[in-house]
Amino acid sequence: MKDIVLHVKDIRSLQLLKNVHSDYVPWTGASIHPTALLYLLNDITIHRRKHIVECGAGISTIYICSLLKSLQYDILFHTVDHDRKWLSLIRNYLKDRDLLDYAELVHAPLTDHKECFNGKCTWYDTAELEDKISGPPIDLLFIDGPPANDDNSEYARYPALPYFKPKLSDDFSVVLDDASRRGERLITRRWQEVCGVTFKQSILKGDISVASRGNRYNVL
């Protein structure tokens, strides 16, 4: 039943998203749910975010850039990806539509990382992140990468919050995609223990888990 409701909400969300970006975008089975994407855009607008960091470039990158262009106020947006070719495709898409000025695309290859969950893991090269991500504290962190869709990589997104937590603003939202998967469920439990941040999972908001602090308004 929840899957049916989410499917209906995704259809409605797609209609609303056309107001943000009307060009064709190639959605795939791995893409963010339209409802989750709408949640992100609402959060940016309602809370007037100043510094957004996205782990995993994709459709969300395109829509966030389109929104930032329409909002016309100062927002810093960094999107991180390990795949140079994929990042180049995103760059060209944004450039062709005069959206490239609204995002800083950061290529950070995957390397062995010390902050792991349940054994060894690879995550974005933190030397690249330190070099290329700067600015005010981060008030929206969206985690949709690295890929974590098989048994060998299901905990690949764990290092994100331990790394970025010291860089978060006093008022923030952290959004984790694919929240119903086993790996992501276990990751959020560990984050709550280690980082002291409480997550709420919502399938009907697009299969995301959200942690927030200091936000005055609820995001629909």
- Top pLDDT among 129 and 120 is at 129
Q: Is the pLDDT of residue 145 over 90?
A: yes
Provide the mean pLDDT of the chain: 91
Q: Which of 125, 121, 133 is nearest to 79 (CA)?
A: 133
- Model pLDDT, residue 16: 87
Q: Is the pLDDT of residue 10 over 70?
A: yes
What is the CATH architecture of 2-213? Answer: 3-Layer(aba) Sandwich (3.40)
Chain CA centroid to CA 197, Å = 17
- So where are the chain's domains? 2-213
- Model pLDDT, residue 1: 54
- Model pLDDT, residue 220: 60
Contacts of 77 (CB under 8 A, 6+ apart): 51, 52, 54, 64, 65, 68, 102, 103, 104
- Model pLDDT, residue 5: 58
**pLDDT tens-digit map of 31-55:** 899 999 999 999 999 999 999 999 9
Give bridge partners of residue 62 from the DSSP assignment: none
Q: How far is CA 72 from CA 76, 78, 190, in A?
A: 12, 17, 38
**pLDDT tens-digit map of 60-115:** 999 999 999 999 889 999 999 999 999 999 999 999 999 999 999 999 999 998 88
Rounded to the nearest 10 degrees, how much is the dihedral formed by the CA atoms of 107, 112, 114, 116? 90
Q: Is the pLDDT of residue 4 over 80?
A: no
- Model pLDDT, residue 3: 63
8 Å CB contact between 34 and 14: yes
